[in-house]
Amino acid sequence: MTAHQLSGIEYQRMISGELYLPSDPELTAARARARSLEFRFNHTPPEQAGERTAILRDLFGSTGDSLEIEPTLHVDYGLNIHIGNRFYANANCVMLDVAEIRIGDDTMLAPGVQLLTATHPVDPVARTSGRELGYPITIGRRVWLGGGVIVGPGVTIGNDVVVGSGAVVIKDLPDGVVAVGNPARVVRSI
């Protein structure tokens, strides 16, 4: 299954940043597929690195020439994740991809990084309707996200950026900066 094979109205709403029903049968099946691949990846022995890579290439929408991710990994769909060349993610990475996640070349994620495109309506009536929404995350080239960094929905991080451990990124970051804190703020240029 690829993103091109998903064509239902709820999928189209989901990737367009509109309210959608996650209980839609097509979306439920796509999440089940992702859980199965995720389970296989997370339980493949370290000496079978080639098998791990093959699983990731099947899970993600697209990948570059080399990628390495340490278990455990958690995704919503996988199909909406697009990773550049020479990517590395350490243990306990979460990528909730109800919207696209695009990651540039030579980017590294430390342990416990969370890329969260998913969100819920602020209005309590809308929130309890069962509908959700999401906004894409874009991460540039040569980016390093420190341990436990959280990137929120709709954020773009420029090229050559370092985000310090524990930061919560809720606003875009320009190229060539170091950002720290909650919420993340630029502390210097590189």
DSSP 88-152: EE-SSEEEE-SS-EEE-TT-EE-TT-EEE-EE--SSHHHHTTT-BEE--EEE-SS-EEPTT-EE-
Q: Which domains does the chain have, with CATH numbers?
A: 3-189 (2.160.10.10)
Residue 1 has pLDDT above 90, yes or no: no
**Mean pLDDT of all residues in the chain?**
96
Q: Give the DSSP letter of residue 79.
A: T
Tokens encoding 139: 């991460």
Tell me the pLDDT band of 75, cut-offs 50, 70 and 90.
Answer: very high
Percent of the chain whose pLDDT exceeds 90:
96
Phi-psi region of 6 (alpha: psi -120 to 50; beta: other; left: phi over 0): beta
Contacts of 30 by beta carbon, 8 Å cutoff, 6+ apart: 1, 6, 11, 77, 79
pLDDT tens string 54-63: 999 999 999 9
Residue 4 has pLDDT above 60, yes or no: no
Tell me the pLDDT band of 5, cut-offs 50, 70 and 90.
Answer: confident
Q: Give the DSSP letter of residue 15.
A: H
pLDDT tens string 134-166: 999 999 999 999 999 999 999 999 999 999 999
- Asked about 120 being catalytic, the answer comes back as yes
Entry pTM: 0.96
